[in-house]
C-alpha cells in the first residue's frame, strides 16, 4: 500500500527545499513528498496521482505565484479534490485573498512567511489528524 502524499507549491526553490527538510525531519517515512514550482506543475502532479490512485492528503501553497494566485488555485483544487486539506503560506497575501480561500476553498490554515518551524509542524499535524487548526 502506498503512503499518503504531501504536496508543496511555491515558485521559490529555497522555500520548497526548506519545507521539505522541516516536514521530512518531523514526519519521516509516514508520507511521500512532492513539490511544484507553479500551480500548473501542481495540477500535473494532482492529475498524475489521481490516475495512479495515490492519495494527496495535504497541499501547502504559496499565495504570490506567477500566472495564478494561491487563493484562486486553492479554490479550484477544493472544487476538484475536496478531501485534500489545504494550507496557504505567504508573506504577501492580503486579507481579502485569505478570506476568499477560507470561504471558497475551506482553507485549513493560513501561515505567514517567514514561519516558525514548530508552528508549521503543529499546523500540519492538526490538519492531518482532521483537527481544524486556528487561522492566524
Set out the domains of the chain in order of their start, with CATH numbers. Answer: 5-128 (3.40.50.2300)
pLDDT at residue 135 tops 60:
no
pLDDT at residue 134 tops 80:
no
Q: Mean pLDDT of all residues in the chain?
A: 93
**Residues with Cβ < 8 Å from 102, sequence gap 6 or more?**
110, 135
Hey, what's the cell of 22? 522541516
> What's the CA gap between 124 and 113, in Å, rounded?
15
pLDDT at residue 16 tops 60:
yes
Q: Name which residue leads in pLDDT, 56 or 131.
A: 56
pLDDT above 90 coverage of the chain, percent: 88
Whether residue 88 contacts residue 70, with contact meaning beta carbons closer than 8 Å, is answered with: yes
pTM value?
0.92
Amino acid at each position: 500500500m502506498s503512503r499518503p502524499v504531501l504536496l508543496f507549491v511555491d515558485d521559490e526553490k529555497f522555500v520548497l527545499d526548506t519545507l521539505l527538510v522541516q516536514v521530512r525531519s518531523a514526519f519521516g517515512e509516514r508520507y511521500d513528498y512532492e513539490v511544484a514550482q507553479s500551480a500548473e506543475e501542481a495540477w500535473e502532479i494532482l492529475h498524475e496521482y489521481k490516475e495512479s490512485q495515490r492519495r494527496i492528503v495535504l497541499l501547502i501553497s504559496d499565495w504570490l505565484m506567477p500566472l495564478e494566485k494561491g487563493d484562486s488555485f486553492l479554490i479550484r483544487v477544493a472544487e476538484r479534490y475536496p478531501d485534500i486539506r489545504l494550507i496557504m503560506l505567504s508573506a504577501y497575501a492580503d486579507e481579502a485573498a485569505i478570506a476568499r480561500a477560507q470561504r471558497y476553498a475551506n482553507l485549513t490554515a493560513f501561515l505567514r512567511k517567514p514561519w516558525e518551524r514548530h508552528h508549521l509542524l503543529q499546523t500540519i499535524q492538526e490538519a492531518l489528524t482532521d483537527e481544524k487548526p486556528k487561522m492566524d
